[in-house]
Each structure stands twice: as structure tokens, then as C-alpha cells.
Structure 1
Amino acid sequence: MSALFAVLKAIAAVCLAGAIFYVMNLAASGLFTNPGLDQPAYVILPDDAPAAAAVEAPSFEELMASADPARGERAFRDCQACHRVEEGVHAVGPSLYGVIGRDIASFDDFRYSAAFSGLEGVWTPERIDALITNPQGFARGTAMTYSGMRRASDRADLIAYLQTLGM
């Protein structure tokens, strides 16, 4: 009887080890793959492997040429928490009506943070792109708490929408 018990314990140990290995394999697969793309989430290349050719991102001008103001209006929903698009109507942030081509910090009836009060020039699409990419990087010390819009195509769509305001 004890020999049979020893064999059963050995079989149970092998089954338990297999089950643990299977569960750990599933967990590791979940961490290092992206099921939406069916590709590894992170690939470690050996030192002698050639680096993949860098994918060239479209230029700002190309993005603006293909920008869609309707998509930009949807992207503006993030901005609506602080900005309005009606002429002269301010909220936490200044009105964005007619912002393209307008002088920076030009409203007398809005109190700008010191970060914007020190900037000169006009709002160009490129400047707005820089601002909404990284507000703190564009105007260090700004009261604007928005962390930035990462996708360049979304920024181009938003700028295309802003260009339709006040025209």
C-alpha cells in the first residue's frame, strides 16, 4: 500500500508542477504580449541584430493637410472643461474663438498666468501644436493642468477645428 501511495504522490507532484508551469506561462504571456496587435509588447534584440528602420512620422504640414475639423470638434471635448469657443466668453481658460492669428495673452478681461503673460507673438498652428503637446514644456509654470495630447493626428484635427472658429 505504501508503494502505491508513493507512486500517487509522485504523479500528483508532476501534475501540480505542470499546472503551476501552465498558469505561470499564461501570466507571462499576458504581461509580454498585446492581444490587440498579436505582437510582443516588448522585444529584446541581441546586440548583433540590426535595428529596425525608423518609421518616419508625417510632418506637421502633412498632418494639417489631412486634418478633419469634425474630428477636431470631438477632440475639443477635452478642452471644454476649461475653454469656450464663443466670442469673448471665458471660463477657467480664455475663449478660443478666433485663436489662430490672435496675439498671445491678448484679452484684457482675462487674467493669464505669468507663464503666458511673458510670451510674445501670435498663436500659429505650430505654437498651438507645441502647447497642446506639452503645456508645461511650452509655458513653464502655466496654471494649465492639462497633461497634453499625445497623438499628432488628434492635435492636427483639433487645430483644424480651431481654425474654423471666428472666420
Structure 2
Amino acid sequence: MKNYILYFFVFLILFSCTKEVPETEKRNVKSIDEAAVRELIENYFAAYNAGDIETAAEYFDNDYKVIATDSLDVIGYENAKEDLLQYYRQYPKGKWENKIEEITIADGYAIVISSGSFMQPDPLTNKLEPTYSERSIRILKKDKNKMWKIFRYLSAPTFTYDEK
């Protein structure tokens, strides 16, 4: 009988422990994830601006999809990589300036709202000037290795410069 009572108390103690994560630990994980997401976005633009399209494309998820209001949708990693390379070849002196406005993280996904401008050298002054500006949403997700990847990219132009 003593053994049953002992087993009962051990059982009671083991199963009465909660698995809920304390709020401070949740905030720490969120801030670590937020820093990782911010760094990924910054590294993506740095790689593109350096002309390293291979590295820039490594930040894309295999199921990456681009939905832009002023162009055709691009679906899949290889197509997105080729589209990025084509864009770089078309505007080799262009650079992206991006400003992250908000990051929201939940359940293995991150939503990054940002504004950005594509800058190109002015033919007269050779100073970088915006030729296209946009507001965008990038949705990132954690892959099987718990690494963030850009999963979706949605954008709408806020300014375009069209030569006439």
C-alpha cells in the first residue's frame, strides 16, 4: 500500500508541473526572432546591392512567391532567383534602400512591413535618385532547420518614374 501511495504522489508531482512558458521567456524568444528576421532582410538587401544575387536568393524559401501589383507573379525559388538576376542585369548600378517599419511574429511566421526605393544614378549628377518606391509585406517562415526564409513578397508601388 505504501508503494501505491508513493507512486500516486510521484505521479501527482510529475503531472502537476506546467509546460507553459513564462511570459518573459516568450518575450526573449520573440526579440531574438525579431532580430534574426531584421538581420535577414538587411542581409538580403546588402547581398543584392553588392551584386551577389546567389546569396540574395539563398534567403528565399523553396515555395517563394512574389505578388507585385505592377508585374506578373513569380512562383518558386528558381523562377524568383532568375527574376532577381534579370532585374540586376537590367539595372546593374541600381541599389535598394529599404526601411523596416514593423515586424510581427507568431507561430513560425514573421510579417515584415517596409517601404523601399530603388535608386539609380542620375545621368547628369551621377547621384543616386529614386526611380521606383514601394510599400511591401514580406512573410517569412521558419524552415525545418529553424532558420527564417522569405516565403512571400507582396508589393505595391507608391512612386514610379516613367520616362516619356
Give the shorter-chain TM-score range: under 0.3
Q: When you count strand as a share of all residues, which structure comes out higher?
A: 2
Q: Using structure 2 for the length normalisation, give the TM-score.
A: 0.26
Whose radius of gyration is greater, 1 or 2? 1
Q: When you count helix as a share of all residues, which structure comes out higher?
A: 1
Q: Using structure 1 for the length normalisation, give the TM-score.
A: 0.25
Instruction: Name the structure, 1 or 2, with higher relative contact order (CA <8 Å, separation 6+).
Output: 1
